[in-house]
Every structure is written in structure tokens, then in C-alpha cells.
């Protein structure tokens, strides 16, 4: 009997450790959906030719694969990169949680305008080597390695025959980038105090600010690109709208919870600040998160269409990024004020709201959603207004080599706004957070949401150590 109880106890904990492994079939279904749509929009011959074009052309911002290689090839490339990412997470034994959905949203989205199934490998290898140096499992570093592929245009640039570099130089550069990114991301996470959700984007921006001048001093001449597709609004709107409605339906009726409980969980999710780390999957369970993803995707699509923008590779990438971060900090109440701030900038500043870079800013400015959620919507509008101008200038010094340019701009604004708002408006002394970046990626145990109004500077993390293993009410 004693051995039976011990076995039952071990099996119970094993099932908890694998709490979200049932996500894998759905992740593969998402990759299949992208591939299926790609083959519906183009012929296999054109898709194959388009994939060859994608891997043989520089991928700096803004390089829309839909324009460059056709919608079919762009979507199939996104499916391939998504499949590679799933395999990396699976074979590294990464613990699945809300960050998993963030990473998959980023990888799928940016595979439409910068990442491809070839240029991501050296950076992943570098992060793997870093884990080996520390004699640790690659699991906790897999997310960072995948997100660090924001600098994959550096690899592509160095590998192509452009008068500078070669495939060996490209591989070395990629490995170095992947190797230094985990410790750098852990540091930048602390100084931003959870106010910039695209923390790795800020870290990548810092690396790009060193790498691009360095290779330029060696004879390289990288430059920004402006390849922007138009004319695909109808098919992409149908795809995004249908996907979002499917997510909302699945959240309410396919998550083994009553619809009223899912709705209650979603309403509670809307009360959170979104300050990182806010793992909504662990805090509220899959139902409210799926509803949140669907609602946020519809909001992003509506903003682009109402602004007179285009649904293409970059904007769909931005919408998929919003949907991914709907599991880790973004919701309608904290991101809409920031988006309105960018829209306000388009009305009073000397640029148009439907300019390509501004369309991306409308979507990716939601990296500053925690400022709105934590300090209130007026500060969110202010953050978006500032971001709308800053982001237009941060990409030029790095020649578009950092795909997460909005994350870098958001980091700068967060670092400036957070202490100013706290000291001037709240009369409190700002403190740099001390909790570890990787600790937030290594658990799948449910946590109870914390009221952001009760947080103090010495308690920045919404995970309460006393109840972090306690079952959440909607799990």
C-alpha cells in the first residue's frame, strides 16, 4: 500500500510537470494551418521558387516576404519556422507555459518579414552552446534563443555575396549573438521593471548598436529595406477574422470549463496590469487566454483596416505577435490606450498614420501595455505618443538589422517613463527589480493573479512565493 501511494504521488507530480504538454497537437495544427493557407494561395512550384528567393535575399527591415516571394511562399516559410520552433521546444524539454505561446507567435509572425528556416540556426546554436558552458539544460534558454533570432538579418547579410562576409563569417556572427543573448536579456529585464514586454527586443537592439558599426568598420555597407506589399486585405482579413473567432469559440466551449467560468476568468484577466511577468496561461487557464487572443487579434486587425493600412507580411506579423503576447501581458484594456497614443501622433505630428513604419508602430507599441495597465490609461496614451516618434528613428542606426525595433524603442521609453512617473506622480522611489528572468520561464504550476494596485516596489513579481503552487480558480 505504501508503494502504491508513493507511485500515485509521483504520477500526480509528473502529470503536473506535464501540465501543458497537451498544447503540442494544437501548436502543430497552427503550423499546418499556415502551410495549408499558403498552398491555397499559390501553386507548389511558385512556393518552392519563392522559398529559394526568401533565403537568398537580405532580410533587414522592412522586407515583406509576401511582396518578395508571394503570399504562398511567405506563409509556408512561417509554417516551417513555426515547426522548427516547436521541435526546438520539444527536444530541449522546455517547460510549456504562457511564454511558449509568445515565442510561437513571434516566430510565426516575423517569419513573414525577416526570419526564415535557414538564417535562424546559427543563433540557436549559440544559445545552445551557452547552456552547455553553464552545464545546464537547454530548456530554460530555448525561448531566449528563439526570440534572439530577431537578429537573423545579420546572419543573412553576412552570408550573401554582397562584397563583405561569407557563410562562415555569418555562422560565427550568429553563434556569438546567440551566445551572449541569454545573460544580456536577463540584465535588461531587470532595468525595464517589467514595463516593456519585448525585453529581448531591447537586448537585441543593444547588440545591433554594437554589431552594425563594427561590421561597417570592416567594410560592410548594410542598409534598410522598404519592401511593402498591398492588395491582400480581403484574403488576409478573412484568415485573421476566422482564426480569431475560432479561438474565441474554443476558449468558451472547448476548454472543459463552463462558458460562465471562462467569461469570469476573462473579466478578471482584464483587471491585471500586464506587468511582466504576467503568465496568463498559468494565472487563468487556457479558456480566458484563448478568448483574449481572439479579441486582441480582432482589435489589431481593426486598427490596421480603420487606419487605411495594409494587411501583409509585416502587419500580420504584428497581429500574430499581439495574439502571442495575449498569453503574457496584453489585453484590450491595457493595449488600446497605447495604440490610441500612436494614432494621436499621426494626427498632430509630421507623418501619416498609414505609413508602413507607423502601421507597425500601431501594432508593436503594445509592448508598452504594462505602463497603461499599471499607471492608468492616460500614461498609456503618453507612452504610445512618444513611441510613435522614437521608433521611426531607432531603426536607422542599425540598418534594420534588429527585427524587434519596436521592442528596442519600447525599452528606451520604459526606462525613461517608469522612474519619472513613479517619482513625480506617485512620490515613490524607483527600484530595479531583482527577480531572475529565467525563473519565470521554468514553471508551469498555476498561480493566482495579484491585484496590481497592491504591488509595491519590493514585490514586483505577480507570483506570490507563498501560493505559487496553489491552484488558480479557473485552471
pLDDT per residue as tens digits for the range 175-185: 999 999 999 99
State the Cα torsion 30-32-33-36 to the nearest 10°.
170
What value does the mean pLDDT take over residues 19-23? Answer: 83
C-alpha to C-alpha distances, 67 to 81, 85, 111, 178, 284, nearest whole angstrom: 19, 24, 13, 29, 39
DSSP state of 271: T
| Residue 18: band (very low, low, confident or very high) from pLDDT cuts 50, 70, 90 | low
> Which of the two residues, 213 and 256, has the higher pLDDT score?
213
For the cut 60, the answer to whether the pLDDT of residue 259 exceeds it is yes
**Sign of CA pseudo-dihedral 81, 82, 83, 89:** positive
What value does the mean pLDDT take over residues 424-432? Answer: 83
pLDDT for residue 258: 94
For the cut 80, the answer to whether the pLDDT of residue 469 exceeds it is no
State what percent of residues in the chain have pLDDT above 90: 74
Global pTM exceeds 0.85: yes
| Residue 453: band (very low, low, confident or very high) from pLDDT cuts 50, 70, 90 | low
pLDDT for residue 461: 43
Runs of H (alpha helix) within 193-285: 199-217, 233-253, 259-269, 280-284
For the cut 80, the answer to whether the pLDDT of residue 2 exceeds it is no
pLDDT for residue 225: 84
| Residue 12: band (very low, low, confident or very high) from pLDDT cuts 50, 70, 90 | very low
450/390 Cα distance (integer angstroms) = 32
For the cut 50, the answer to whether the pLDDT of residue 211 exceeds it is yes
pLDDT for residue 471: 38
Burial of 427 from C-beta contacts in 10 A (0-12 / 13-18 / 19+): exposed
213/215 Cα distance (integer angstroms) = 6
User: Phi/psi at 194 (nearest 5 deg)?
Assistant: 75, 10
pLDDT for residue 454: 62
| Residue 76: band (very low, low, confident or very high) from pLDDT cuts 50, 70, 90 | very high
For the cut 60, the answer to whether the pLDDT of residue 420 exceeds it is yes
pLDDT for residue 114: 93
> Which of the two residues, 267 and 6, has the higher pLDDT score?
267
| Residue 221: band (very low, low, confident or very high) from pLDDT cuts 50, 70, 90 | confident
Kindly report the average pLDDT of the chain as a whole number: 89
17/95 Cα distance (integer angstroms) = 8
DSSP helix/strand/coil, 66:
helix
Contacts of 376 (CB under 8 A, 6+ apart): none
For the cut 70, the answer to whether the pLDDT of residue 206 exceeds it is yes
Residue 30 · residue 246 · CB < 8 Å: no
- pLDDT tens digits for range 90-123: 999 998 999 999 999 999 999 999 999 999 999 9
- pLDDT tens digits for range 359-398: 999 999 999 999 999 999 999 999 999 999 999 999 888 9
pLDDT for residue 22: 84
Amino acid at each position: 500500500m505504501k508503494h502504491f501511494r508513493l507511485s500515485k504521488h509521483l504520477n500526480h507530480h509528473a502529470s503536473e510537470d506535464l501540465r501543458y504538454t497537451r498544447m503540442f497537437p494544437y501548436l502543430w495544427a497552427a503550423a499546418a494551418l499556415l502551410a495549408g493557407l499558403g498552398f491555397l494561395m499559390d501553386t507548389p512550384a511558385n512556393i518552392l521558387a519563392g522559398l529559394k528567393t526568401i533565403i537568398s535575399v537580405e532580410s533587414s527591415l522592412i522586407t515583406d516576404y509576401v511582396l518578395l516571394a508571394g503570399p504562398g511562399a511567405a506563409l509556408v516559410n512561417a509554417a516551417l519556422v513555426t515547426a522548427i520552433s516547436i521541435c526546438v521546444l520539444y527536444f530541449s524539454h522546455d517547460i510549456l507555459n504562457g511564454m511558449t505561446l509568445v515565442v510561437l507567435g513571434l516566430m510565426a509572425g516575423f517569419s513573414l518579414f525577416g526570419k526564415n528556416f535557414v538564417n535562424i540556426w546559427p543563433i540557436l546554436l549559440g544559445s545552445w552552446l551557452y547552456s552547455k558552458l553553464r552545464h545546464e539544460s537547454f530548456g530554460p534558454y530555448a525561448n531566449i534563443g528563439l526570440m534572439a533570432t530577431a537578429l537573423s538579418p545579420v546572419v543573412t547579410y553576412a552570408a550573401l555575396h554582397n562584397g563583405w562576409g561569407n557563410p562562415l563569417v555569418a555562422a560565427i556572427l550568429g553563434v556569438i549573438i546567440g551566445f551572449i543573448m541569454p545573460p544580456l536579456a536577463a540584465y535588461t529585464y531587470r532595468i525595464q521593471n517589467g514595463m516593456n514586454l519585448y525585453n529581448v527586443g531591447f537586448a537585441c537592439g543593444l547588440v545591433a548598436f554594437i554589431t552594425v558599426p563594427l561590421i561597417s568598420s570592416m567594410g560592410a555597407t548594410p542598409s534598410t529595406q522598404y519592401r511593402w506589399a498591398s492588395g491582400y486585405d480581403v484574403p488576409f482579413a478573412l484568415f485573421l477574422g476566422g482564426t480569431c473567432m475560432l479561438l474565441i469559440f474554443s476558449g468558451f466551449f472547448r476548454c472543459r470549463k463552463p462558458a460562465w467560468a471562462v467569461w469570469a476568468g476573462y473579466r478578471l484577466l482584464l483587471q491585471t496590469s500586464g506587468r511582466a511577468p504576467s503568465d496568463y496561461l498559468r494565472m487563468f487557464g487556457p479558456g480566458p487566454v484563448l478568448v483574449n487572443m481572439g479579441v486582441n487579434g480582432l482589435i489589431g486587425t481593426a486598427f490596421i483596416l480603420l487606419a487605411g493600412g495594409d494587411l501583409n507580411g509585416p502587419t500580420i506579423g504584428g497581429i500574430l505577435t499581439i495574439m502571442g503576447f495575449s498569453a503574457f501581458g496584453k489585453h484590450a484594456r491595457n493595449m488600446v490606450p497605447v495604440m490610441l497614443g500612436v494614432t494621436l501622433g499621426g494626427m498632430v505630428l509630421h507623418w501619416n498614420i498609414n505609413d508602413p513604419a507607423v502601421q507597425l508602430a500601431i501594432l508593436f507599441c503594445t509592448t508598452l501595455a504594462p505602463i497603461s495597465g499599471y499607471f492608468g490609461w492616460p500614461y498609456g496614451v503618453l507612452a504610445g505618443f512618444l513611441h510613435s516618434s522614437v521608433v521611426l528613428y531607432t531603426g536607422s542606426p542599425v540598418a534594420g538589422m534588429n527585427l524587434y525595433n519596436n521592442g528596442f524603442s519600447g525599452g528606451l521609453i520604459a526606462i525613461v517613463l517608469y522612474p519619472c512617473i513613479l517619482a513625480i506622480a506617485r512620490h515613490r522611489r524607483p527600484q530595479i527589480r531583482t527577480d531572475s528572468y529565467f525563473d519565470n520561464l521554468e514553471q508551469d504550476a498555476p498561480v493566482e493573479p495579484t491585484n496590481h494596485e497592491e504591488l509595491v516596489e519590493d514585490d514586483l513579481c505577480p507570483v506570490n512565493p507563498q501560493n505559487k503552487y496553489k491552484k488558480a480558480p479557473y485552471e
